[in-house]
């Protein structure tokens, strides 16, 4: 069973009520809180296999009282909160300041239990450490972590890769692809725990609020969506710290980054600080996944990427799972300074923003797929694919992953890339990815036709008639202009 690395003290639990579980009961001391139910509670930790082989980890409060009234039984909670009444809310949770504050805010304003949910999409073990303790200290009744790495790559990244989806000429959609897989898992967890609402910590200026909520609408329109940043009076970090202190929520002690970052198995994005001025060059110490191209090895590295039906399956003859293959390419590409992108993009909400992206493995994959398609796709198919890819990327960027149009585009892409099978050899050198060779059993390239020598299939004399017919509109227009 796959597990999400670095989550302290959490073990797997099945979503199925009749599954066999090995349970360990221990007492966990939560800090006293002005909200009901924040005192010490008895916690049951259980381990099971989850559906589809994914790891589900959680710590569930039993609701037994230990010198305080639990949130579920308090009179105030039965009456609701300042803004209404909800039963249980599943919150997209990172353990940072914003989501730590959202937990007590939801309980105070909606009189509800809060289930914290974290998706492991390859952001790294450090970001997953200590989440159980943080969630409990903030007043959450339960923490669920799911390992979504393989699903993320095979069912979200690979379709976009196969489609050739690139937003505004550069962006390989790293954050855009991750949001629907996370939101879908939240809908699943909401059903498993009996929640009637979901919540996220996205701001009202960004794209992510749209991506989360369109997924919620598509998969379960009955769920209420709570977006605290569009409702509360908290305007910044200092307000959030003050609110946390007021409600006895430990403020995360991790050093505050000057950049706003989002990391997953596909990429790492950087925004904010000096990047807000497009005239500023990024500082080298900002990068985390890749070395500067000038500091990359002086010797090139050759890679053979094997592909089946438009998606990578192997590196140098070694078959790997989608997530493992991407992780390895990230290491190799980062070492050679591959995949740095600096761009000004148009956000869905209307404003322009500047971001810097590191996508080492994805850049290598995209180069390999494009080159193999040069062998296996005819001209008309390739042109239509490129046109559809623009709209495909726009739909993904805009959060419309579960729209019928994107799903129909996916069927088109899957059909036309069925023969994009073979291998591409790439040379990585100081930030560049160059194609050295490509081969496919379905190649449309014929040496006997393409050769400059005459052959039986192509007679060079036939070109004269072709040119006369192909150029007929040009000749007719010229004749008209000259009065012929």
User: Which residues are identified as catalytic?
Assistant: 98, 179, 208, 260
Q: In terms of DSSP H, where are the helices of 111-246?
A: 131-138, 149-152, 158-163, 174-193, 208-219, 237-246
Stated as kind and residue range, the H or E segment containing 96 is none
The sheet with strand 432-439 has its strands ordered as: 318-319, 311-315, 301-308, 422-429, 432-439
Distance CA(249)–CA(33), nearest Å, equals 8
DSSP of 384-420, one letter per residue? HHHHHHHHHHHHHHTT-TTSHHHHHHHHHHHHHTTT-
d(CA 20, CA 40): 28
Sign of CA dihedral 92, 98, 102, 104: positive
Query: Rg of the chain's alpha carbons, rounded to an integer?
Result: 27
Rounded to 5 degrees, φ, ψ at 176 are -60, -40
Q: Token pair of 459, please? A: 């007679």
Q: Is 275 exposed, middle or buried (0-12, 13-18, 19+ CB in 10 A)?
A: buried
Please tell me the distance from the alpha carbon of residue 68 to that of residue 29, in angstroms, as a whole number: 12
Residue written as token pair 């769920």? 223
**Contact, 338 vs 360, CB < 8 A?**
yes
Phi, psi (deg, nearest 5) at residue 113: -80, 150
Residues forming a β-bridge with 302: 427
The CA distance from 400 to 212, in Å, is 10
Cross-strand bridge partners of residue 147: 120
- Residue 80 contacts by C-beta under 8 Å, 6 or more apart in sequence? 86, 110, 111
Tokens of 234: 């908290």
Cα–Cα distance measured from residue 372 to residue 370, given in angstroms and rounded to the nearest whole number? 6
* Nearest C-alpha neighbor of 144 from the set 234, 215, 54: 54
Task: For residue 165, give both structure tokens.
Answer: 């989806």
């Amino acid at each position: 069973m796959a597990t999400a690395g670095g989550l302290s003290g959490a073990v797997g639990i099945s979503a199925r009520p009749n599954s066999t579980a090995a349970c360990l009961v221990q007492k966990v001391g939560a800090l006293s809180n002005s909200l009901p139910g924040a005192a010490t509670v008895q916690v049951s930790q259980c381990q099971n296999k989850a559906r589809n082989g994914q790891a589900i980890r959680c710590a569930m409060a039993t609701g037994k009282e230990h010198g305080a009234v639990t949130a579920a039984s308090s009179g105030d909670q039965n009456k609701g909160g300042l803004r209404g009444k909800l039963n249980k809310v599943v919150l997209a949770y990172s353990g940072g300041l914003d989501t730590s504050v959202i937990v007590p805010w939801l309980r105070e304003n909606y009189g509800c239990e809060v289930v914290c949910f974290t998706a492991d999409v390859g952001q790294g073990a450090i970001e997953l450490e200590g989440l159980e303790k943080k969630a409990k200290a903030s007043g959450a009744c339960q923490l669920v972590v799911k390992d979504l790495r393989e699903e993320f790559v095979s069912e979200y990244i690979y379709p976009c890769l196969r489609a050739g989806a690139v937003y505004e000429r550069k962006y390989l959609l790293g954050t855009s692809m991750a949001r629907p897989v996370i939101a879908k898992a939240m809908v699943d967890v909401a059903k498993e725990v009996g929640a009637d609402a979901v919540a996220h910590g996205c701001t009202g200026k960004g794209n992510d609020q749209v991506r989360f909520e369109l997924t919620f609408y598509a998969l379960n329109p009955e769920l209420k969506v709570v977006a605290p940043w569009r409702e509360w009076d908290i305007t910044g970090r200092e307000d959030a710290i003050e609110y946390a202190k007021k409600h006895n929520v430990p403020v995360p002690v991790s050093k505050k980054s000057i950049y706003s970052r989002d990391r997953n198995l596909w990429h790492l994005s950087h925004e904010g600080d000096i990047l807000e001025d497009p005239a500023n060059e990024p500082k080298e110490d900002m990068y985390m996944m890749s070395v500067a191209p000038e500091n990359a090895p002086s010797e090139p590295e050759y890679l053979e990427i094997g592909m089946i039906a438009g998606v990578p399956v192997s590196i140098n003859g070694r078959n790997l799972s989608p997530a493992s293959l991407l992780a390895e390419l990230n290491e190799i590409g980062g070492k050679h300074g591959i995949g740095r992108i600096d761009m000004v993009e148009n956000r869905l909400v209307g404003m322009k923003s500047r971001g810097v992206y590191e996508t080492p493995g994805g850049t290598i994959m995209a180069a390999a797929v494009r080159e193999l398609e040069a062998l296996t796709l005819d001209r008309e198919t390739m042109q239509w694919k490129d046109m559809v890819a623009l709209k495909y990327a726009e739909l993904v960027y805009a959060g419309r992953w579960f729209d019928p149009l994107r799903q129909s585009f996916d069927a088109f892409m899957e059909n036309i890339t069925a023969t994009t099978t073979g291998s591409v050899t790439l040379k990585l050198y100081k930030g560049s990815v160059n194609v050295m060779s490509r081969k496919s059993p379905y190649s449309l390239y014929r040496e006997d036709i393409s050769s400059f020598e005459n052959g039986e299939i192509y007679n060079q004399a036939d070109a004269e008639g072709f040119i006369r017919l192909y150029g007929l509109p040009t000749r007719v227009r010229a004749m008209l202009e000259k009065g012929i």
